[in-house]
Amino acid sequence: MQQEALRSAHESMGIATQSWSPLGQGSALSDPVILEIARKHGRAAAQVIIRWHMELGLIAIPKSITPSRIRENFNVFDFSLETSDLAAIVALNSGKRLGPDPSTFA
Ligand SMILES: NC(=O)c1ccc[n+]([C@@H]2O[C@H](COP(=O)([O-])OP(=O)(O)OC[C@H]3O[C@@H](n4cnc5c(N)ncnc54)[C@H](OP(=O)(O)O)[C@@H]3O)[C@@H](O)[C@H]2O)c1
């Protein structure tokens, strides 16, 4: 759900993109590719996904009601993803969305 065309349009107009539901409402956390990247870096899946947003210059505000997860989600400033990690995550794009589509929203 990476919204590449929308991000490109934003970039051309100097608009910062905020990622709504940056963890896919939790659905992206069990993806095998994400889990493998997390294992390689010794990190949690959520941390890998948050780093992906950060490294693309996206504004990500993950939600959690769980104190340990909130701490985990903040602890993302001391590692970075490799080029191959970023490419592997880009390849996961499904073109789907969680929320309504503005072009068909009534
Ligand atoms: N303006 C809008 O219309 C709009 C629309 C959608 C989203 N948003 C914004 O997007 C942000 C979050 O969206 P969201 O709540 O839909 O989805 P999300 O942040 O993608 O995912 C939240 C889910 O991930 C779980 N989670 C969070 N951190 C985790 C971790 N480290 N390990 C495992 N699970 C973890 C949470 O569980 P627990 O809470 O149980 O820990 C919760 O189930 C908010 O800032 C929201 O306001 C805005």
- Read off the pLDDT of residues 35-86 as tens digits, 9 standing for 90 and up: 999 999 999 999 999 999 999 999 999 999 999 999 999 999 999 999 999 9
Percent of the chain with pLDDT over 90: 89
CA separation for the pair 100, 60 (Å, rounded):
19
Ligand 1 centroid, distance to 61 Cα (angstroms): 8
Residue 96, domain member (yes or no)? no
Residue span of the structural domain in which 71 resides = 4-90
What are the residues whose beta carbons fall under 8 Å from the beta carbon of 79, sequence distance 6 or more?
A: 41, 43, 47, 51
**Domain tally for the chain?**
1
- The reply to whether ligand 1 has any atom less than 6 angstroms from the CB of 22 is yes
Residue 97, domain member (yes or no)? no
Residue 40, domain member (yes or no)? yes
Ligand 1 centroid, distance to 41 Cα (angstroms): 23
- The reply to whether ligand 1 has any atom less than 6 angstroms from the CB of 66 is yes
Residue 95, domain member (yes or no)? no
